[in-house]
Structure 1
Amino acid sequence: MGRVNTTDSPFHHEETSRDEAPQYALPLVVRIEKDAPPSRTDALETAARAVLVLLSDERSLGDGEWAQAMRDWQDARIRKVVRRARGAEWRKASALPGITVANGSAEVRVFPPVPVDAWPKELAKLQVSGTELEDPERDPEQDPGQDLEEPSSRLAEEARVWLNPGLRMSTGKEMAQVGHGVHVLWWDMDETTRKTWREAGFPLSVRTAQAAQWARLTTSGLPTVRDAGFTEIAPGETTVVVEGGGRFAHRPA
């Protein structure tokens, strides 16, 4: 699903051993109230941060209460499943062990991994469909996109997750993909860089690349995500490329 340079990365396992391991999924629930849905970009960036917050939480590390589930999950296919909730459903989901991350108009709760066939009932009944979100109209002169050859000062201080402009995905599917992207980048960092990024609040942005940018990104040596093809798109499609800026830069081997 992803490609990195560090040998301890969970994305480095051989296909056969990953397929034979017990399969887990990382649940993410996005709050979508009928009268106040979040914007698409806020939901994508909040999902990415939620994955990073869970990966770096002390309960996920060492002998923490979630650590074994995290290890079991990362020894198999790194599945992330996004569901939606509102009202009472959101309140019930929020009562389960997990972490809620809020940013802008979006709230996302991430939970420790669960076996793919044994979800908690409060999460299992939530809908996967219906996560299509939109961004408000923007002035293109205020957000013209970024060219790889002329990075902005903002990009120099954050990681950027680029989405494939040629794929049509639901927002829920995109949230899972950007979560994969920052997961790959996290495992491509040394401990010092991880600590710096975490202390800075995981600065990142999510953008859809322009066609010419995408062609360069996919041959740049940056971390990529290739989808397993369980839902929506064909197996092997490159969905995301992740570019770390400045202090959080990816350093090719």
Structure 2
Amino acid sequence: MRPDYDPLDDPPWAMQLVVRAEKADPPSHAAVCEAAATAVVRLLTDPRAVDGEWRAAVREWEARRIRKVTRRARGVRWPEAEALPGVTVEHAGAQVRAFPPGPVADVPPQLAKLQVAGLDLAEAGEPEPPPEPPYAAIALNPDVTITTGKAAAQCGHAAQLLLRQGRRKDVAAWVEAGAAVRLARDVPWSECVRKATVAVRDGGFTEVPPGTMTAIAWIVRK
């Protein structure tokens, strides 16, 4: 038996995230990360996930290791993905769609054929100004090198942890305001760690060793 085997995670489940990445006009790294995090929160707070047809799948997934898989779509592949049930967020030129979680071995064919590895996008010149509070600030560990696809998944993890573990009043206000997310790119990492409400430690399945702190998050209040 593998030393990392977890019977509660057999078979593994994951939430699929699809990023629209057209060759001619790709989105920025930060915009994708922010849109992915917001998409995760909006899906988890969608009525279909709270007490509707997605509720059982979300509960089953959250009882296991929380995994997310980021895929990229372009051309006709994007409308094919959008035709499936999910939640799309458009932000600063990025489009990301989150889908209800399910077994990794049973991904819909429209998503299974989308590429997972290799999504690595450039940063935009000037960062987007922060929205009016409340919003979630997420910081990615500057000492860890990861692709945009991996970073988007880690931001999704951080936003999910914040949704589930943050102070209830602050979380409710953040969600009510639209669940906006901004990357804290100009704040020293040590200062971000002091502010953080939640921290993501990676399972080590891709790109980084297990236990690596990849992202942290907190809510910026009014």
Alpha-carbon offset, residue 91 of structure 1: 1.2
Q: Which residue of 2 aligns with 1:246?
A: 221
Describe how 1:1-253 pairs up with structure 2 within 5 A.
19-20=8-9, 22-62=11-51, 64-138=52-126, 157-189=134-166, 191-208=168-185, 213-218=188-193, 222-246=197-221
Alpha-carbon offset, residue 207 of structure 1: 2.9
Q: Distance in 1 between matches of 2:36 and 2:125?
A: 22
Summarize the Cα distance change of 1:18–1:46 in structure 2 as closer, same or farther, 3 Å threshold.
farther
- The letter for the 2-side match of 1:163 is L
1:82 aligns to what SS in structure 2?
A: strand
1:54 aligns to what SS in structure 2?
A: helix
Alpha-carbon offset, residue 99 of structure 1: 1.3
Please report the TM-score for the alignment, with normalisation by the length of structure 1. 0.79
Unaligned runs of 5+ in 2: none
Query: RMSD between aligned alpha carbons?
Result: 2.5
Alpha-carbon offset, residue 191 of structure 1: 4.8
Q: Distance in 1 between matches of 2:12 and 2:62?
A: 9
Structure 1 stretch displaced more, 185-194 or 70-79: 185-194
2:77 aligns to what SS in structure 1?
A: helix
Percent of aligned pairs with the same amino acid: 40
Alpha-carbon offset, residue 198 of structure 1: 1.8
Q: Distance in 1 between matches of 2:196 and 2:81?
A: 39
Alpha-carbon offset, residue 31 of structure 1: 0.1
Q: How many residues in Structure 1 have an aligned counterpart in Structure 2? A: 219
Alpha-carbon offset, residue 185 of structure 1: 0.5
Alpha-carbon offset, residue 18 of structure 1: 7.0
Q: Distance in 1 between matches of 2:68 and 2:150?
A: 9
1:87 aligns to what SS in structure 2?
A: coil
- Cα deviation per residue 1:155-198 (whole Å; 9 max; x = unaligned)? 86422101100011000000000000011110113554333212
Alpha-carbon offset, residue 116 of structure 1: 1.2
Contact 1:48 1:175 in 2 (8 A): yes
Alpha-carbon offset, residue 61 of structure 1: 1.0
- Cα deviation per residue 1:13-49 (whole Å; 9 max; x = unaligned)? xx98774454210000000011010111111110010
Summarize the Cα distance change of 1:194–1:18 in structure 2 as closer, same or farther, 3 Å threshold.
farther
Runs of 4+ in 1 over 6 A off after TM superposition: 15-18
- Cα deviation per residue 1:74-106 (whole Å; 9 max; x = unaligned)? 000000110000111111111111111111100
Q: Distance in 1 between matches of 2:112 and 2:19?
A: 14
Alpha-carbon offset, residue 223 of structure 1: 0.9
The structure number with the bigger radius of gyration is: 1
Unaligned runs of 5+ in 1: 1-14, 144-152, 248-253
2:153 aligns to what SS in structure 1?
A: helix
